[in-house]
């Protein structure tokens, strides 16, 4: 009888522990938003202008966030602002030079 009780306690502990592990993973995901719109240093912004209209959408708060269409910044949830490809290129350089 006693042996069964101990087994049950260990099993319960394992379930609680694994539950906590999953919760931690979810929190990390929310902390660092992963988005293809976040461009890395040295990105060729002219290659991002897929429709070739010479315009790109960029977050005025986060110059590393660039899209070829009007989208929402994954970092601050603001709508992106239209820039020329040249402006977007200067902006992202300024961002990474700071």
Per residue, what are the HEC states of 1-64?
Answer: CHHHHHHHHHHHHHHHHHHHHHHHHHHHHHHCCCCCCECCCCCCHHHHCCCCCCEEEECCCCCC
- Cβ–Cβ under 8 Å, residues 88 and 82: no
Nearer CB in complex with Zn ion: 3/31: 31
In angstroms, what is the minimal distance from the CB of 62 to Zn ion? 4
DSSP labels, 75-87: TT-PBPEEEEHHH
By the criterion CB under 5 A, which residues form the site for Zn ion?
59, 61-62, 73, 75-76
Nearer CB in complex with Zn ion: 20/32: 32
Nearer CB in complex with Zn ion: 61/86: 61
In angstroms, what is the minimal distance from the CB of 19 to Zn ion? 34
In angstroms, what is the minimal distance from the CB of 63 to Zn ion? 9
């Amino acid at each position: 009888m006693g042996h069964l009780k101990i087994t049950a306690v260990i099993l319960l502990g394992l379930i609680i522990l694994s539950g906590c592990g999953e919760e931690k993973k979810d929190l990390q995901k929310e902390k660092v938003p992963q988005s293809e719109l976040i461009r890395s240093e040295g990105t060729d912004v002219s290659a991002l202008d897929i429709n070739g209209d010479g315009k790109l959408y960029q977050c005025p708060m986060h110059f590393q966030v660039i899209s070829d269409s009007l989208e929402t910044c994954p970092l601050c949830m603001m709508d992106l602002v239209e820039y020329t490809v040249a402006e977007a290129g200067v902006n992202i350089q300024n961002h990474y030079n700071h």
